[in-house]
Amino acid sequence: MKNKPKIVILTGAGMSAESGISTFRDSDGLWENHDIMEVASPEGFAKNPELVLHFYNERRKQLFDVEPNLGHKMLVELEAKYDVVVITQNVDDLHERAGTKRIVHLHGELRKARSIGDESLIYKREGDINIGDTCKKGHQLRPHIVWFGEAVPMLEIALQLVAIADYIIVIGTSMQVYPAAGLVYQAPKKAPVFFIDPDPQVNKQDFYDLTIIAEPATIGVKKVVDFLMK
């Protein structure tokens, strides 16, 4: 049996925005009225762990009020014809709930917690994480989120997947925040790239074969999926 062509899909905040997921960062650079470094850095957690835990507890609760949108669901259709992997900067679980089988979370997952004393100890978490909640070794639990200044553990795997892709689809991300922004440039030179975003910030001259679709995810994904499934 012939191997299916490989599609790597890179998704950001715009992928989930139409489901009602907050993109965190407002126009003034604040996240839900907090300075980013207060709630998304190891230093912020060390200074005020209660604030940081509360911030992510609220984000986790929001997941119970939202559903995958048409964009999430239509990506699953590609799996009938292609070898598909989604590499997402999002920390929600909407790709999973839509039915996508292979997902790499670059920036962590809201529905998981991990030990501050042993990063290999990761637990599923539906409810709040509070001060005093510990791992089996007695260390405090924290959100399983990659904060500013921390390494991106899944980056190497993501780079390997992009490097062998036959097609790249970029959805709802400015591709301006590194290291995630550099992923698309690791694709094979002649691999077609589809860029879906209402306000695309991309230089067409950087790519051999680039299609820009200046639409939100629910509209843009349908166009690309319809084209690739023909």
The phi and psi torsions of 183 (rounded to 5 degrees) equal -60, -45
Cα gap 144→86, rounded to integer Å:
19
Question: SS3 of 140, please?
Answer: strand
Q: Which of 217, 158, 224, 154 is nearest to 185 (CA)?
A: 158
- Residue 97, classified by CB atoms within 10 Å of its CB into exposed (0-12), middle (13-18) or buried (19+), is middle
Catalytic residue, chosen from 105, 107, 139, 144, is 107
Q: Mark whether 107 is an active-site residue.
A: yes
Q: Which contacts of 195-198 are long-range, i.e. CB under 8 A and separated by 24 or more positions?
A: 195/170, 196/169, 196/170, 196/171, 196/172, 196/220, 196/221, 196/224, 197/14, 197/170, 197/171, 197/172, 197/173, 198/14
Both tokens of 197, joined, read: 């975003």
Give yes or no for a contact between 7 and 167, defined as CB atoms under 8 angstroms apart: yes
Cα gap 173→198, rounded to integer Å:
10
Residue 66 CB partners (closer than 8 Å, separation 6+): 16, 19, 20, 21, 92, 94
How many residues make up the chain in this entry?
230
Catalytic residues: 107
